[in-house]
Amino acid sequence: MDSYYGDGGALIQDPINSLVYYSGGTVVSGSYSVMCVSKSTDGGSTWPYRYNLTAEAGCCYALTVEPTNSNVVYAGGNGGLFKSTDAGTSWTSSSVGISGIVYDIKVNPLNVNLVYAGSTDGVFKSTNAGLGWTDTGCDSVNVLLVNPVHPDTVYAGTGYGVYLSTNAGGTWTAMNAGLANLKVKALARNPGVYLFCGTSAAAYRWSLAVGVEEGAVSVAPILDLRVYPNPCRGMTMLSIGIRAEGLGLKIYDATGRLVNSFALRNTPYAIRWNGIDQNGQSVPDGVYFVTVTADSVSETKTLLLIR
């Protein structure tokens, strides 16, 4: 890997092709340090493809690839928001309605026309794959997190704490109880168990068991769902590592359609799934969601199927 960037701001892996990476930053071009994206097709060993997105000063801080289509890539920064529909070969501005510096971009995995962008001016939402954007609220947004199974649930990490929307950005509620530092830099999620928050001073966790802050309630048991290999090429192992009553396992595609389901009578339990749906037909390549439930507890993992 070379030292192409004067300043690097983003790095992301293609969710379908693990050898493809995009990196973003700023590079000197003429008299400006412009917003730039580079692409590697060999796992980061070389970066032969480089694209200047702005003619004047800018830096790329956010990148995302559409979860079911590797050709669609979004890039954002202080030069605006851009979109490619040919895997980075060409880029067009997708900034109508957006203001501020874009620090994160997320695509709804069940509806790829629904895209969120977090910027210094708020959480912006597009319902037409980036053609236009509306401000849904919040301010000073650094990071976004979308629940892959229930994507109307969106978390925003801001300079003023963590905010939650359960209606796709319609309204936002603060989740700041217990946060000694409100400058949120990172968010992560263990489905049904914890929301993790990284700030400029410390890391915190919020229990998702009943929706109140960590420390106030007992934590729901972890079902220890494992999916391996992942990505898989036609065959994967789905295992549950604890004993529990009433276990069930379901597989959904990226549109939310139930693909297959299994009743698990003995645990610890493992099954092999060979990419076949309930009708015995092979399913196409793409992103799938594996969900295991036991009574009121559930755990979900994302699976990438590649033939």
DSSP codes joined into one string, 113-179: T-EEEEETTEEEEESSTTS--EE-S-SSEEEEEE-SSSTT-EEEEETTEEEEESSTTS--EE--TT-
Secondary structure class of 209 (helix, strand, coil): coil
Mean pLDDT of 94-116: 94
Question: Which has more confidence, 147 or 126?
Answer: 126
Q: For the residues 153-160, what does the mean pLDDT come to?
A: 95
Of the ranges 38-42, 60-64, 160-164, 237-241, which one carries the lowest mean pLDDT score?
237-241
What was the pLDDT predicted at 55? Answer: 82
The least confident of 122-131, 204-213, 253-262, 291-300 is 204-213
The answer, yes or no, to whether residue 278 has pLDDT greater than 70, is: yes
The pLDDT-based confidence of 100 (bands split at 50, 70, 90) is very high
Tens digit of each residue's pLDDT (9 = 90 or more) over 231-257: 888 788 888 766 566 678 889 887 778
pLDDT-wise least confident of 48-57, 160-169, 205-214: 205-214
pTM for this one? 0.70
Which of the pair, 91 or 211, is modelled with greater confidence? Answer: 91
Residue 247's closest CA among 234, 258, 238, 236? Answer: 238
Stretch 51-77: mean pLDDT: 91
Q: Band of the pLDDT at 268, cuts 50, 70, 90?
A: low
Domains in the chain, start-ordered, CATH in brackets?
Answer: 7-207 (2.130.10.10), 225-305 (2.60.40.4070)
Confidence of residue 1 (pLDDT cuts 50, 70, 90): very low
Q: Quick: pLDDT tens for 204-220.
A: 988 876 433 333 333 34
Is the pLDDT score of 82 beyond 50? yes
The pLDDT, as a whole number, for residue 248 is: 80
Strands in 32-40's sheet, in edge-to-edge order, are 7-13, 21-29, 32-40, 49-57
**Stretch among 4-8, 42-46, 172-176 having the lowest mean pLDDT:** 4-8
* Residue 217, pLDDT score: 32
Q: How far apart are CA 213 and CA 195, in angstroms?
A: 10
